Amino acid sequence: MPKFPMINITDSWSHEEDVLEYYLFDDVILTGSDKLFQQYFHNKIFCDSDGQLYKVIGKTLPAQIWRKIFKFLPNVYKVKLHFEKVNQRMEVEQLRAFILQKLHQLEPNEVLAKWINQINKAKSHAEIIGTEIK
């Protein structure tokens, strides 16, 4: 089972609004949109907080009828993601280089500069992926 949070290492980060779309904080997403699932998750490779790589291979829609009825309410419609372990790891320095390369493509600002600084100081996968911008 993956250790969360995880980060998508398959895709390029096209613009700032999408940066959080590349993070997974648990094994559920809060949308039933097949278009979003295909765009951001299906067959994408994610690095977990221990450096292990996982591929998203499918999803399970909620079975409870009340979740379907009230899916318009925030945090009610939870779609479970299914992962397949990839027999490959990403070393800390590889992950750091990957994320820094992506961040340097974004428009510079104060928050981004702090984020980059904290990633440079991080000592583990979990610290790099789960960096809180202070």
Residue-wise DSSP of 45-99:
EEE-TTSEEEEEEEEE----HHHHHTTTSTTT--EEEEEEEEEEE--HHHHHHHH
pLDDT of residue 74: 81
DSSP class of 105? T
Q: pLDDT under 70 in the chain at which residues?
A: 12-18, 131-134
In the chain, domain spans: 6-129
Cis before residue 62, ω within 30 degrees of 0?
Answer: no
Q: What is the pLDDT of residue 131?
A: 62
Write the CB contacts of 104 (distance below 8 Å, at least 6 apart in sequence): 116
Per-residue model confidence (pLDDT) at position 18 = 66
| pTM of full prediction above 0.85 | yes
Helix (H) or strand (E) holding 126: helix 125-129
56 DSSP β-pair partners: 83
Q: Which of 82, 6, 16, 75 is nearest to 47 (CA)?
A: 6
* Per-residue model confidence as pLDDT tens digits over 39-55: 889 999 999 999 999 99
What is the structure's pLDDT at 86? 96
